Amino acid sequence: MWQRIQTLYLAIASILVGSLFFARMATVLGPDGASIDIRYYEKLPFLLFLISLFSANVIGLLTFRARLLQMRVCILAALLLVGFQIWIGADFFRYKDSMIFSFTAVFPIVAAILDVLAARAIALDEAMVQSAARLRGKRKRK
């Protein structure tokens, strides 16, 4: 399992998404100079989205024996991560005057890129296995 590059991609993506549970999303600056940190888990929709994203990445990481399922889960996770990044971007443009966003706001797009790279590597592995199976089948018939 760990000798494949897609496992590394999925593990890093899972760590990035998992780290969002503990990171702050933004800091709100008050009129008197006080600042309030807003974390991702404080907004219920963000929390539910993070739980589903983390679950999808972990399922993709653990289903290494079923390559087609793993590839589909990776693509689904990548699409959900892009949607989450768009949502964070919309909040950024809506509240850019009153909030200072953390660098963790770009973690979803990095994780989405890693999921796409993992899906590509899984597809290449599946093509290699199918090719080897086809060659073995011809050898047995002769």
Please write the tens of the pLDDT for every residue from 24-51. Answer: 999 888 778 788 888 998 989 999 999 9
129 band by pLDDT with thresholds 50, 70 and 90: confident
User: What's this model's pTM, rounded to 2 decimal places?
Assistant: 0.87
Q: What is the pLDDT of residue 99?
A: 86
User: What percentage of the chain carries pLDDT values higher than 70?
Assistant: 95
Helix axes 5-19, 107-141, angle to 10 degrees: 160
Rg of the chain over Cα atoms, rounded to whole angstroms, equals 20
Residue 122 · residue 70 · CB < 8 Å: yes
Instruction: Give the CA count within 13 Å in the CB-facing half-sphere of 23.
Output: 18
Are 57 and 77 in contact by the 8 Å Cβ rule? The answer is yes
- Looking at the chain, the whole-number percentage of residues with pLDDT higher than 90 is 63
Question: In this predicted structure, what is the pLDDT of residue 139?
Answer: 61
Within 10 A of 109 (CB to CB), how many other CB atoms are there? 18
CA–CA dist 46, 66 (Å, integer): 30
Domains, in order of start, for the chain: 5-141 (1.20.140.150)
In the structure encoding, which two tokens stand for residue 125, read together? 């592995």
* Confidence band of 1 (pLDDT split at 50, 70, 90): low
Residues 56-90: tens digit of each pLDDT: 999 999 998 898 999 999 999 999 999 999 999 99
Asked if the model's pLDDT at residue 8 lies above 90, the reply is yes
Q: Tell me how far apart the alpha carbons of residues 122 and 59 are, in angstroms, rounded to a whole number.
A: 14
d(CA 100, CA 35): 10
Q: Are 33 and 66 in contact (CB under 8 A)?
A: no
Task: For residue 114, give both structure tokens.
Answer: 């890693």
